[in-house]
């Protein structure tokens, strides 16, 4: 138990500690081996740029071993002259941001003679040695501490754990460094053992108690190592992958999320004797893959209504013309039962309109509704009422609703209906057709008509920006309206902005939208239990972001993710089903089968 608590505490405080890190905490190790020595590290404004140096024939050569020495690779040409040039350009600032810089020179040859030559050479660059934002730190083969006073004040030293220093000597120590392999056999994978973790924490505490910074060499160059060292409050993280580590540190604010608002989930209560549903509720989490779902589960402390649904399957989302689908082709597959090209809205590969599920069900006296927590003319909701060869044709898409039999439309996008470039006001036409139209979502509960369109952009901002209970209110109003008739119904409701968070590579955005969508799922499950002739299907059109989870805590509700893309992926997406006929959705199948299974159940096939 003690081991678990200690390791948990390290990970729990990761976010707070990581907020303190920047590229100033990066130690660019073996910098001279990069494709752009000095410049790659400098462009990322790393805190430490390290180079190995050999003294040969009174010249300082940069190399890892004596056999690798090239006559054109000198300390002066690769580091001192470029740094001096930058200082002139920036009028004395080490970096454009005015951050400090440490140039660490690791001596590989004789300590005394090499350092004397380094000192002589540095004296020819007074702009470097006199700069308050730059420190020269000597590592590797260093003179004995008692000899440090023989060197100019602009020379500092890399300390060691096993060395004792007088107060004057300690003042010349810029940092304390140690070989991590001397402390632990940990290979950068998994977690440190309890004993090794405590040993390292004790070392760090001692060094920080001396008001010195600490770094370890011989560390692995991977994300798990970076995170572990940051959790331990190591001051300088060594790397040969400067750009990658810089990006990792800079992205932490968007890839880590600590949840503070937890919701109670709904547990199913019905066994469902009937195998044929009367009503269909299709909930689509745009961009919602299994990782997005599990991120929400983690952030809600191990609870999701979605995970309480007993029947699951997998949907293959490939489009006709692409391995990776977009929302247009993905939603079209579910709305029509046909694969099509990306960007096509419920038309086939040649642009011919496909009959929609809403159109077919209307012929069977179904009431139908389309709800989205985004713009109602966006690809996913549009595929259930429009026919267009291009998803960006938002005004023609809106116009297509006039010919669709759906009874209810709720989302954003009032401009596409009222403030159009062609001058048409579709709201007037809709009113003439018997709809109530409003661009004020707050008026939703006042609507008495059983046919209405509610569109307001301000109501479909992100959860973070105040959307509130838009989805649950829209769903409750719709089911309440439909329940007043004897007609069966079909509802498609979209959690649109899980996808937005994936495109932005923002874990907080993804998680908060996922949890909001789960509240809708819980409400829909409760409705199914009270109305057992209803089938609930929850799925996604595709996964967005290539999200993976690299850390998290179910106990505390935080999650740390990593994205592989800012676009969609080809990963199959989960399908959850609850209600009569739910077992038909078990298995692995094409996304078109969701349509096929719904229609087969309704037709009694």
What local confidence, expressed as pLDDT, does residue 7 receive?
45
Residue 145 and residue 165 in contact, taking contact as beta carbons nearer than 8 Å:
yes
For the CA atoms of 164, 170, 173, 174, what is the dihedral angle to 10 degrees? 130
Q: Is the pLDDT of residue 2 over 80?
A: no
CA angle, 297 then 299 then 300, to 5°: 65
Residue 150 has which token pair? 């023989």
Please write the tens of the pLDDT for every residue from 20-50.
899 999 999 988 888 889 999 999 999 999 9
| CA distance linking residue 218 with residue 198, whole number of Å | 19
What local confidence, expressed as pLDDT, does residue 172 receive?
97
What local confidence, expressed as pLDDT, does residue 6 receive?
43
What local confidence, expressed as pLDDT, does residue 15 receive?
52
Work out whether strand 311-316 and strand 573-578 pair parallel, antiparallel, or are unpaired: antiparallel
Please write the tens of the pLDDT for every residue from 190-206.
999 999 999 999 999 99
Q: Is the pLDDT of residue 224 over 50?
A: yes
Residues 6+ apart with CB under 8 A from 200: 183, 184, 192, 232
Residue 310 has which token pair? 């007993």
Round the average pLDDT of the chain to a whole number and report it.
Answer: 95
| CA distance linking residue 296 with residue 290, whole number of Å | 10
| CA distance linking residue 50 with residue 105, whole number of Å | 6
Tell me the H-state helices in 383-450.
394-400, 414-418, 426-432
Instruction: Assign 5 a pLDDT band (cuts: 50, 70, 90).
Output: very low
What local confidence, expressed as pLDDT, does residue 189 receive?
94
Q: Is the pLDDT of residue 86 over 80?
A: yes
Average pLDDT over residues 574-593: 97
Instruction: Assign 4 a pLDDT band (cuts: 50, 70, 90).
Output: very low
8-state DSSP, 544: E
Residue 453 and residue 432 in contact, taking contact as beta carbons nearer than 8 Å:
no
What local confidence, expressed as pLDDT, does residue 8 receive?
43
Name the burial class of residue 231, with classes exposed (0-12), middle (13-18) and buried (19+) by CB atoms within 10 angstroms of its CB. Answer: buried
What local confidence, expressed as pLDDT, does residue 14 receive?
52
Q: Is the pLDDT of residue 295 over 80?
A: yes
Q: Is the pLDDT of residue 229 over 80?
A: yes
Residues 6+ apart with CB under 8 A from 166: 145
pTM confidence score: 0.89
Q: Is the pLDDT of residue 601 over 90?
A: yes
What local confidence, expressed as pLDDT, does residue 20 receive?
86
What local confidence, expressed as pLDDT, does residue 167 receive?
97
| CA distance linking residue 87 with residue 92, whole number of Å | 5
């Amino acid at each position: 138990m003690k081991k678990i608590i200690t390791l948990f505490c390290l990970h729990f405080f990761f976010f707070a500690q990581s907020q303190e890190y920047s590229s100033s905490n990066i130690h660019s190790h073996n910098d001279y081996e990069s494709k752009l020595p000095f410049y790659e590290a400098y462009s990322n404004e790393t805190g430490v740029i390290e180079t190995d140096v050999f003294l040969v024939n009174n010249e300082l050569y940069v190399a890892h071993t004596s056999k690798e020495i090239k006559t054109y690779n000198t300390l002066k040409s690769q580091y001192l002259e470029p740094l001096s040039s930058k200082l002139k350009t920036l009028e004395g600032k080490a970096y454009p941001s005015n951050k400090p810089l440490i140039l660490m020179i690791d001596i590989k040859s004789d300590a005394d003679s090499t350092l004397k030559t380094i000192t002589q050479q540095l004296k020819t660059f007074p702009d470097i040695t006199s700069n308050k934002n730059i420190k020269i730190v000597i590592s590797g083969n260093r003179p004995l501490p008692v000899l440090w006073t023989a060197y100019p004040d602009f020379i500092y030293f890399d300390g060691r754990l096993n060395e004792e220093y007088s107060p004057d000597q300690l003042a010349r120590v810029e940092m304390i460094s140690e070989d991590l392999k001397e402390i632990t056999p940990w290979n950068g994978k998994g977690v440190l053992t309890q004993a090794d973790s405590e040993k390292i924490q004790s070392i760090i505490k001692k060094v920080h108690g001396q008001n010195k910074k600490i770094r370890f060499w011989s560390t692995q160059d991977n994300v798990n190592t970076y995170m572990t060292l940051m959790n331990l409050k190591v001051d300088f993280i060594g790397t040969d992958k400067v750009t990658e580590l810089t990006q990792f540190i800079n992205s932490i604010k968007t890839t880590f999320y600590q949840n503070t608002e937890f919701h109670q989930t709904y547990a199913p209560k019905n066994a469902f004797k009937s195998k044929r549903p009367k009503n269909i509720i299709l909930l689509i989490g745009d961009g919602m893959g299994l990782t997005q779902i599990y991120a929400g589960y983690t952030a809600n402390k191990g609870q999701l209504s979605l995970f309480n649904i007993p029947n699951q399957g997998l949907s293959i989302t490939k489009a006709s013309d692409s391995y990776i689908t977009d929302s247009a082709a993905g939603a079209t597959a579910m709305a029509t039962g046909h694969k099509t090209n990306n960007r096509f809205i419920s038309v086939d590969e040649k642009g011919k309109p496909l009959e929609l599920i809403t159109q077919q069900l209307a012929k069977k006296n179904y009431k139908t509704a389309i709800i989205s927590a985004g713009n109602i003319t966006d690809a996913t909701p549009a595929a259930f009422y429009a026919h267009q060869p291009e998803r960006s044709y938002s005004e023609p898409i809106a116009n297509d609703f006039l010919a669709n039999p759906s009874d209810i439309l709720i989302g954003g996008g009032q401009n596409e209906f009222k403030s159009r470039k062609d001058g048409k006001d579709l709201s007037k036409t809709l009113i003439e057709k018997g709809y109530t139209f409003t661009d004020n979502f707050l008026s939703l509960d006042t609507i008495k008509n059983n046919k209405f369109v509610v569109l307001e952009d301000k109501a479909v901002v992100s959860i973070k920006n105040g959307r509130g209970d838009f989805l649950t209110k829209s769903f409750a109003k719709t089911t309440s309206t439909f329940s007043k008739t004897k007609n069966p119904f079909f509802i498609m409701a979209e959690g649109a902005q899980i996808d937005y968070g994936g495109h932005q590579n923002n874990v907080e955005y993804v998680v908060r939208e996922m949890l909001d969508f789960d509240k809708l799922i819980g409400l829909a499950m409760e409705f199914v239990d009270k109305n057992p002739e209803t089938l609930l299907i929850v799925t996604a059109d595709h996964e967005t972001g290539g999200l993976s989870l690299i850390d998290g805590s179910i106990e505390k509700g935080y999650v740390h993710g990593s994205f592989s893309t800012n676009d969609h992926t080809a990963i199959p997406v989960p399908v959850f089903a609850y209600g009569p006929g739910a077992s038909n959705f078990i298995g692995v199948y094409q996304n078109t089968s969701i349509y096929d299974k719904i229609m087969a159940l309704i037709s009694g096939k």
